[in-house]
Copies of this chain bind each other. A is one copy, B any other.
Amino acid sequence: MTYRAPLEEISLTLTHMVGADALAGTELFAEATVETRDAILTEAAKLAEEVLAPLNRVGDLDPCRIENGVVRLPKGFVEGFAAIRDGGWMGLTAEPRWGGMGLPHAFFTAFNEMTSSACLALALGPLLTIGKIEALQEHAPDWVRDLYIPKLASGEWTGVMDLTEPGAGSDVGALRLRAEPAGDGTYRLHGQKIFITWGDHDAAENVCHLVLGRIAGAPDGVRGVSMFLCPKFIPEADGTLGPRNAMRAIGLEHKMGLHGSPTCVMEFDGAAAWLIGGENRGLMAMFSMMNAARLGVGVQGVGVAEAALQAAEAYAQARRQGRTPVGDGHGPIADHADVRRMLTTMRARTMAARAICFACATALDFARAAPEAERAGWAARAGLLTPIAKAFGTDVGCEVASLGIQVHGGMGYVEETGVAQFYRDVRVTPIYEGANGVQAMDLVGRKLAQHGAAPHAMLDEIAAFAAQARSGAGAELAARLDAARAQVLAATDWMIAAKGNDRHAGATPFLRAWALLLGGYFLFKGAEAAPKLMPLASFFIRQELPQAAAHLAAATEGAGALYPEIETEDAADSAAA
């Protein structure tokens, strides 16, 4: 099973589907030309194919462990991490004044996809560090930025986010980790965090935690949450390492997959920490990096989907079984119609999810680089696309990994084949960084704000594209796309008018319908520029997009059906209004 980075598909997506080439026309990303992109992604492809992919199964068989109070990564992971670090990848998007390359998030997204395809467990570490850099750039005081970001961007140190507690997962406001003022402007943290990905490891000399906690006397709920920087080793002003901080990994979770990624229980026992973003403003700081982190996880789903697809295609081309319906009848199983359907479905969904993720990344970039007057619009578009990218990307990751097993038949269920690992590894992605149900709440909540300005703008764009495409060769596809757009618009307006719990009851199918529409739009747009994509776009619009209507039917049923023990719908909405 050999992973080959899909550089051409990625390039087609960036150029023809999501308009990323225009980033080089902005001042901020003037250096981010297509030539630069190609050169960089070619290097990233080499790293993923040659260094990371061979580590994937190693990490599965040789899980992380705690030895003498220190977390040890699987064999080869330290070297794999070093290759990422030495290639300068962890500074890809960081600002140049702190040693970064200042390149667009769209480029990083392609890097993230490839490394996630190759070795998701290892790719997670750098992803978290890059998210950390963004948070510090935006919210940390100057001395913190000057001291920490260069170390993170160079990969000498890594960064991690500590959010979940046993009683506070999806509900951040319930967290209880205690931060006591030390009297000198710093704080001491007391408490436990769980599910801390890459919370400790032996691949870098320092691990810097961004910890959500509660200062004594703070209000209840999310309005009393603050964010703290808490390094494993407290650095001196010159960046050399000082004393060991009073926090450590006291356990590792035994997970279904991602064995190579340490999932730590972290204990803080009076650890020194610095406030980031102001007292009780932790949630604001967290939200600002949430878009990128959630997008990053959606891309992980795409990455695993691509890897699973490649493995299934290779197997289906090599395996012969039964008389095939084309050619001389002695073709590989890829020629059987039902296997074709599986492979085509896998490819179509993977391409659609990729396009949505890359569109989101590009919108994030334009939200920083576009002329001032256009930034809010781009930010709103990124905000709209983020929960869809996260939830659809990761759901597609799971679905494609499952179809990949099915293509392999019995061999897919045997661990040595490797495709079972994709299925196990990717299953966490719909859960972490905001469970997909939480993403759907976000979509029907904050992302429909301002009377649905962001979704309406997106739907207008699709309508304009369909109107133009209607006059061309793809007239029938355009009509189908436009019909689906009208259905999504109607459901969106239904959502905007609906009460809270009626929205929530339909959130998940609503998100899926949006994703299908966006996928059809981006694939069709790509196919208009690159006609060889047309069969796939046609398949998606004719055979996948019809599911949108079914999802929208469920999405607009309201909460009543889910609470049969409550007589009236009013009751179900009483507390949610």
Interface of A toward B, CB cutoff 8 Å: 164, 167-171, 173-174, 194-195, 253-257, 321-329, 336-342, 344, 398, 402, 405-406, 409-410, 412-416, 420, 423-424, 427-428, 430-432, 435-437, 440-441, 500-501, 504-505, 507-509, 535, 538-539, 542-544, 546-547, 549-550, 553-554, 557, 559, 561-564, 566, 571-576
Interface centre among A338, A441, A543, A559 (most CB of B within 10 A): A338
**Cβ of A256 and Cβ of B413 under 8 Å apart?**
yes
Find out whether the CB atom of B542 lies under 8 angstroms from the CB atom of A338.
no
Contacts of A535 in B (CB 8 A): 561, 564
Could you jot down 28 A-B contacts, CB within 8 Å? A168-B321, A169-B321, A174-B321, A256-B415, A256-B424, A257-B413, A325-B504, A326-B563, A326-B575, A327-B575, A336-B437, A337-B501, A337-B559, A338-B505, A338-B507, A339-B437, A340-B562, A341-B505, A402-B427, A406-B431, A410-B428, A413-B428, A539-B561, A542-B553, A542-B554, A543-B553, A549-B550, A550-B550
Would B427 and A563 count as touching, CB distance under 8 A? no
Q: Please determine whether B414 and A253 come into contact, CB atoms closer than 8 angstroms.
A: yes
Q: Which residues of B contact A398 (CB under 8 A)?
A: 402
A410's closest neighbor in chain B, by CB? B195
Which of chain B's residues have a CB closer than 8 A to the CB of A423? 256, 427
Asked if B576 and A325 sit within 8 Å, CB to CB, the answer is: yes
Per the bound structure, the CA–CA distance linking A432 and B535 in Å amounts to 32
| Whole-angstrom distance between the Cβ of A413 and the nearest chain B Cβ | 5
> A323: nearest residue on chain B (CB-CB)?
B575
Q: Which residues of B contact A566 (CB under 8 A)?
A: 326
What is the distance, in angstroms, from A495's C-beta to the closest C-beta of chain B?
13
Closest 7 A/B residue pairs (Cβ):
A325-B576, A535-B564, A337-B504, A340-B562, A338-B437, A546-B550, A256-B420
A554 nearest CB neighbor, chain B only: B543
Shortest C-beta distance, A462 to chain B (Å), equals 20
Residues A501 and B325 in contact, CB atoms below 8 Å apart: yes
Q: Name the B residues within 8 Å of A441 (CB-CB).
A: 338
- Known interface pairs A412-B431, A424-B424; 17 further A-B residue pairs with C-beta atoms within 8 A, sorted by A's residue number: A164-B410, A170-B321, A170-B322, A325-B575, A326-B566, A326-B571, A326-B575, A337-B559, A338-B505, A344-B561, A402-B427, A405-B431, A410-B428, A423-B427, A539-B561, A542-B553, A542-B557
C-alpha gap A327/B342 in the complex (Å) = 45
Per the bound structure, the CA–CA distance linking A339 and B342 in Å amounts to 29
The CA-CA distance from A428 to B411 in the complex, in Å, is: 10
As for how many copies of this chain the complex holds, the number is 2
A102 smallest CB distance to B (angstroms)? 35
Q: How far is the CB of A475 from chain B (nearest CB, A)?
A: 17
CB-defined contacts of A549 to chain B, threshold 8 Å = 546, 549-550
- A173, closest chain B residue (CB): B322
> Are B406 and A435 interface neighbours, CB within 8 A?
yes
Closest to A436 in B: B406
Residues of B within 8 A of A338 (CB): 437, 440-441, 504-505, 507-508
Given A170-B321, A435-B409, A508-B341, A561–B546 Cβ distance below 8 Å? Answer: no
B414 with A255: CB separation less than 8 A: yes
Q: Which one of B340, B406, B563 contacts A340 once the chains associate, using CB atoms below 8 Å?
A: B563
Distance (whole angstroms) from the CB of A418 to the closest CB of chain B:
11
Contacts of A544 in B (CB 8 A): 554
A398 to B338, CA, bound (A): 19
Among B167, B255, B562, contact of A337 (Cβ-Cβ < 8 Å): B562
Q: How far is the CA of A329 from the CA of B572 in the complex (A)?
A: 11
Contact in complex: B564, A254 (CB < 8 Å): no
A345 smallest CB distance to B (angstroms): 9
* Residue numbers in B under 8 Å from A195 (CB-CB): 410
> A338 — nearest CB in chain B belongs to which residue?
B437
Closest residue of chain B to A420, judged by CB? Answer: B256
For residue A548, which residue of chain B has the nearest CB? B550
User: How far is A374 from B256 in the complex, measured between Cα atoms in Å?
Assistant: 50
Question: Residues of B contacting A507 with CB < 8 Å?
Answer: 337-338
* Cα distance, A322 to B576, chains bound together (Å): 12
CA distance A337 to B557 in the complex (A): 12
Could you tell me the distance in whole angstroms from the C-beta of A312 to the nearest C-beta in chain B? 13
Which residues of chain B come closer than 8 Å to A402, judged between CB atoms? 398, 427
Chain B residues closer than 8 Å to A325, beta-carbon distance: 500-501, 504, 559, 572-576
Residues of B within 8 A of A546 (CB): 549-550, 553-554
